[in-house]
Amino acid sequence: MNKVLKYVFLAIIAVLIATVPLYSGAFITRFLIGVILYAIMAEGWNVIAGYTGYPSFGNVVFFGLGAYVTALCMINFHTPFILSLIFSSIAGALFAIIIGIPILRLKGHYFAIVTLGIGETMMAITFNVPFTGTGAGLSLPLASNPNLFYYVSLIVLVIFIVFLKFILSGRLGYGMIAVREDEDAAKMMGIDTVAVKIKAFAISGFFTAIAGGIYAYWSTFIDPPTVYDPVMSIKMIIMTVFGGAGTLLGPVAGAFIIIFLSDFLSTHFTILHTFFFGGLIVMTAIFLPKGLMDVLSQKGIGWKYFIENIRKHRV
Amino acid sequence: MFELQIIINGLLLGGLYALMAIGMSLIWGVTNVVNLAHGALIMLGAYTTFWLFKLLHLDPFISLAASFAVLFVFGFLIQKYIINFVIRAKMFITLLLTFGLDILITNVAQTAWTSNFRQTSPSYASNGFSYGIITVPYVRLAAFAISIALVFALYLFLKKTKTGQAIRAVSQDIDAARLMGINVANTFAVTFGIGAGLAGVAGSMIGVLIPITPHMGEILTLKSFVIALIGGLGTIFGPLVGGLFLGLVETFGSFHLGAKYADVIVFGILVATLIIKPTGILGKNNE
């Protein structure tokens, strides 16, 4: 009986989430679209960093690429929105494979900084090649129904989470976790670590690019500094780390909480908002390096937990 | 003849690059933290000199000392009270933390000083001497000379002084250093302070050459990393070689391909170095 009740409860919540645009105003819908897009990106970072142990500091490159592919398809070839998103996702995955082959051999700091550099480089290239509209940016047609973005992004997020849950219980998922825990040992056990890393990176690129495509049509205007903003890569990271890297729903919780706080501060305490992201990152790194999900899984939580975290990591 | 001018420009820029990167290389080599807030520290150095010049009419080359002092204290406190707490956490946590500091410092600077372009412009900024068709601006020559001098000063400091020896000991073996009675936490803080101070001096001189904005640091962080990497970690003269190399390549590259591609060139060098020789030009091969 308890189980039935639980499913009924979950079903009600699912229906409530799925029908948000029908009963809430444009403001809340808009806020939730932002949350869902960031949740997709954070989950994308979670795949390559949280599960596979390769902390990319430039995942925004897939977002920007996806945004530009969708924009260029819709402007130049008038392809339908959904088809453009598919092109974006394929471009994101292909790009991840192409850059992944050389850079996924690098470890630690080297991998992190190279990915950071790729984002900056794509921004510089987009500024300079003529068909991307250079620094002036691109304007997309206006969508007839703004609620479309809510449904599309929600469906993508749900597909992503279900897909991730599916691969985590399979060969690839165990391979990713093995690579994260000890790459050499994984190789010795016969895991094709190169293939695992590239597949994980491709999944990450695939979904992050879709988020970029949705963003492009939603905001109707994109330019290089917006869609290749390195701070966006950091937002994906902090959302995942805050929620819990290497957990299925941590990134979603992180995205929701952080965007809620950020929006709240920016409307009510503008000055505090200046310090928000930097301060949040510093606090999370010191007190919550394992994320919210780890805190929730503890029985009886007190100061001891946080002090223990510090004691373990300080010099 | 024109090529000679490019070589001179590249070398003069490269000296300054070396000074900019040596702090990052030192911090990385000793504490194993890649400081993504390095560009922000350079930016703070640039503003320190700018305000001293603007408000007190202090010559930018005199205020270098002030810039070093301010950034040394700032860096010391950051390492001692923030970074030291996460130094043994996962590598990406320290990267994330320093990036958080970068965002924090940049945002505060932007709120306090707006995003307006500013420049430290002493009366002699455009003076120089010419020989044939080659021109050497005094400011760039002075920046180059001071940078090289500071690199050598750092070398002597690390070799000859007690603090310098402590820093080298900690970078080699933390546990053994601790057993010898070295306070590791303070040594880390001093190391970060010196790195930050040198970044501040570099920033002060960069502010005389190019416009200052709160966001100027982003690309400088990346460049510092590339230079530290090309030169090889844990070497003192590595960043000097790396800086001169990057200065030359960038100057040649922007001349032949256009200034817009300067950042792309930097990144190309980064990837090429990592693939061909990840330990850098002067680095040892056993990493």
Identify whether the C-beta of residue A209 lies closer than 8 Å to the C-beta of residue A88.
yes
Distance from C-alpha of B128 to C-alpha of A278, rounded to nearest angstrom: 42
B111 contacts in A (CB within 8 Å)?
Answer: 271, 274
B242, pLDDT greater than 70:
yes
Burial of residue B98 (CB within 10 Å: 0-12, 13-18, 19+) is buried
Best residue in B274, B275, B276, B279 for a mutation probing chain A (most A CBs within 10 Å):
B274
CB-CB neighbors (< 8 A) of B170 in chain A? none
At A192, is the secondary structure helix, strand, or coil?
coil
Tell whether B222 lies on the interface with A, counting CB pairs under 8 A: yes
In a mutational test of the A interface, the residue from B38, B87, B95 whose CB has the highest number of chain A CBs within 10 Å is: B95
| A281/B100 CB distance under 8 A | yes
The size of chain A, in residues, is 315
At B200, which helix (H) or strand (E)? Answer: helix B184-209
Q: pLDDT digits over A184-207, tens only? A: 999 999 999 999 999 999 999 999
- Answer yes or no: is pLDDT of B284 > 70: no
Rounded CA gap, A88 and A211, in Å?
A: 9
Cβ of residue B267 closer than 8 Å to a chain A Cβ: yes
Burial of A41 (0-12, 13-18, 19+ CB in 10 A): buried
State whether residue B112 sits within 8 Å of chain A by CB: no
Selecting from A238, A282, A310 the residue whose C-beta is nearest the C-beta of B101 gives A282
* Gap between the Cα atoms of B259 and A89, Å rounded: 32
Contact residues for A269 (Cβ-Cβ < 8 A; gap 6+): none
Cross-chain Cβ contact A121/B89 below 8 Å:
no
| Average pLDDT for B182-202 | 95
Q: Under an 8 A CB cutoff, do A285 and B100 touch?
A: yes
3-state secondary structure B104-153: HHHHHHHHHHCCCCECCCCCCCCCEEEECCEEEEHHHHHHHHHHHHHHHH
Q: Is residue B19's pLDDT more than 60?
A: yes
Does the pLDDT of residue B282 top 70, yes or no? no
Which ranges of B32-81 would DSSP assign to H, the alpha helix? 38-56, 64-81
Across the interface, whether the CB atoms of A117 and B89 are under 8 A apart is answered: no
Q: Give the pLDDT of residue A113.
A: 84
3 state SS of A141: coil
CB B46 within 8 A of CB B203: yes
Look at strands B134-137 and B128-131 and give their pairing: antiparallel
**A145 compared with B81, residue with greater pLDDT:** B81
| Contact state of B108 with A274 under an 8 Å Cβ cutoff | yes
Check if B281 contacts A (Cβ < 8 Å): no
Hey, are the CB atoms on A285 and B222 less than 8 Å from each other? no
User: Which letter does DSSP use for residue A47 in this model?
Assistant: I
Give the Å distances, CA to CA, from A139 to A57, A79, A83, A218, B112. 28, 15, 18, 11, 33
pLDDT of residue B54: 92
CB contact under 8 A, B222 and A231: no
Closest CA to A171 of A161, A162, A179: A179
Supply the pLDDT for residue B286. Answer: 42
Q: How far is the C-alpha of B18 from the C-alpha of B22, rounded, in Å?
A: 6
A294/B106 Cα distance (integer angstroms) = 31
In this predicted structure, what is the pLDDT of residue B277?
A: 67
- Distance, in Å, from the CA atom of B78 to the CA atom of B36, rounded to the nearest integer, reads 13
**DSSP element (H, E) containing A176:** helix A171-181
**HEC sequence for A61-99:** HHHHHHHHHHHHHHHHHCCCHHHHHHHHHHHHHHHHHHH
Could you tell me the residue ranges of all domains in chain B? 16-216
Percent of chain B with pLDDT over 70: 95
Q: Are the Cβ atoms of A289 and B85 closer than 8 angstroms?
A: no
Q: Say what the pLDDT of residue B285 is.
A: 47
d(CA B136, CA B126) in angstroms, rounded, equals 10
pLDDT of residue A50: 93
Least confident of A2-6, B32-36, B153-157, B182-186: A2-6
Query: Has residue B287 got a pLDDT over 60?
Result: no
pLDDT > 50? residue B236: yes
Which chain A residues contact residue B271 at CB under 8 A? 102-103, 114, 117
Q: Which residues of chain A have pLDDT under 50?
A: none
Give the pair of three-digit tokens for residue B224: 């510092």
ipTM: 0.85
Q: What share of chain A is helix, strand, coil (3-state, %, to 5)?
A: 80, 0, 20
Distance from CA of A288 to the nearest CA of B (A): 10
* B78 has a chain A CB within 8 A of its CB: no
Mean pLDDT of B71-78: 96
For residue A105, give the nearest of A175, A191, A198 by alpha carbon: A198
* Per-residue pLDDT at B34 exceeds 70: yes
What's the start-to-end Cα distance of chain A, in Å? 52
Q: What's the pLDDT score for residue B224?
A: 92
Token match 């200065």: residue? B247
Q: What is the pLDDT of residue B158?
A: 92
